[in-house]
Amino acid sequence: MDYISTRGSAPALGFEDVTLAGLASDGGLYVPRVWPMLSADEIAGLAGASYVETAITVMRPFVVGALDDAALRDLCTQAYGRFNHDAVTPLVQLDSQNWLLELFHGPTLAFKDVALQLLGLLFERFLTNRDTHLTVVGATSGDTGSAAIDALAGRAKVDVFMLHPAGRVSDVQRRQMTTVLSPNIYNIAVEGSFDHAQAIVKAMFADPETTSRVTMSAVNSINWARLMAQVVYYFYAAVRLGAPDRKVAFAVPTGNFGDVFAGYVASRMGLPIERLIVATNVNDILHRALSTGDYSCGLVTPTATPSMDIQVSSNFERLLFDLSGRDGLALAGMMRGFEQSKAMTIPENMLNGARGLFASARIDGDDMASAMRWAHDRAGQLLDPHTSVGLAAARKAGIASDVPIVTLATAHPAKFRDAVERATGFRPAMPARLGGLFDREERFDTLPATLEAVRAYVLERSK
């Protein structure tokens, strides 16, 4: 399998190089040259398969040439062995139609672990035989940072510089990052929003002064390997609910469009998906884009769901690439226009390609809180605010009552204790995994939200 850029001019790369590279040199994102298909029989054959066996079947076509089955099994066994649940990502029933897929049983209690635990191991394996030192520069609205730091702390040949928006991540999220004192981990609080932090990271990838001095790599969901790892749980959940003979809908709390794009990939691979419900908070650019074609940025409004407080969703470009008929050069023109004016209208003929599969909803703080209370009253489940946004969207999507809807539960409620307590009156218990978090020493530096400041910091410290 080789990978091509959504902007049509960067060289095609194999899986190993795509994993280490992150962003393409033309500013685009890498996608597989073709979407591999699993037949209905192959999907039916996943019934009863473990998470690791499912992962091997789903990821095999994406890694051919780089990893054989034995290597893939070894990496997945290590990565998912660190999860605190035998099912890795268990399904929990809420009522006759609604299910949760709990993706938060990994080391940092958010779904980012599913992809990043594997990515950390892929980095180590691919770097072992290379004379390369990687400088990972990432921006996080909270959960990516801690999951990447957990996956990469102490690994040889990698330094991690993680930017988070100062004061805009929860105290648990911040401490999960800043209390990891490994010498290869650098936490930077940027005086700005997540979008500022992400723009700085993007600018560094395009900045010759940086790229001529260090080998940069990405752990944000612009990294293809992350999305690939997330495709697995769509198959795993759908098969448990009757796929391929029965269609399933998924409601996905969405920020950077990575998680829901993985659902799109599952659908392209042949998984019968009724609908992918894109759930946004009041930062609703994706809802506007999918419902009316209005892809224009406003200002970011801070909410109780910080991992969704975003205006520019990087991975949306991957969907636009397919909707454009995979015309990379045309898309490059569109994206350059968007980057200048911060707005574009998605043509109707492109949108039509998305309408059969995608639905979307904008969920405000009241809708979020009432969905959280419903899950608690109805099923005795305490949900985190992001998951609650997904559930609220699931409940108003108008999906036929015989189609199961799986809401992706993207974080453990204990990561957002204050918001959960405000909505339900119940304060989630701290899981043992987070024990001592508030007693440990924190280490981070605060920088202005400029390319110059961050670049100087990174170049001074990376090996």
Query: Which residues here bind ligand PLP, judged by CB under 6 A?
Result: 110, 112, 143, 221, 253-259, 307-308, 386, 410-411
Closest CA to 73 of 55, 47, 46: 55
E strands, 90-148, where? 91-93, 98-102, 134-139
HEC profile of 380-435:
CCCCCHHHHHHHHHHHCCCCCCCCCEEEEECECHHHHHHHHHHHHCCCCCCCHHHC
Q: Which is nearer to ligand PLP, 8 or 258 (CB)?
A: 258
Separation between Cα atoms, residue 59 and residue 262, nearest integer Å: 12
The edge-to-edge listing of strands for the beta sheet with 445-448 is 215-217, 134-139, 158-165, 185-191, 445-448
Q: Which is nearer to ligand PLP, 8 or 165 (CB)?
A: 165
Pick the closest to residue 169 from 342, 396, 418, 351 (CA basis).
418
Q: Distance (Å, rounded) from C-alpha 278 to C-alpha 259?
A: 10
Residues in the chain: 463
- Cα(212)–Cα(224) distance, integer angstroms: 23
Q: Which residues, in sequence order, are CB contacts of 370 under 8 Å at separation 6+? A: 392
Catalytic residue selected from 112, 202, 247, 415: 112
CB of residue 178 vs ligand PLP: minimum separation in angstroms?
A: 17
**What three-state secondary structure class fits 294?**
strand
Cα distances from 124 to residues 16, 111, 151, 198, in angstroms, run: 11, 21, 10, 25
In angstroms, rounded to a whole number, what is the distance separating the alpha carbons of residues 175 and 170?
9
Helices 365-379 and 417-424, packing angle to 10 deg: 70
Q: How many CB atoms lie within 10 A of CB 157?
A: 17
Which residue lies nearer to ligand PLP by CB, 43 or 163?
163
Copy the structure tokens of residue 116: 């990043």
As a whole number of angstroms, the distance between CA 180 and CA 152 comes to 11
Tally of CB atoms within 10 A around 200: 24
Q: Is 415 annotated as catalytic?
A: no
Closer to ligand PLP at the Cβ: 314 or 462?
314
User: 366 is written with which tokens?
Assistant: 């009241």
Q: Which DSSP symbol is given to 86?
A: T
Q: Which residues are catalytic?
A: 112
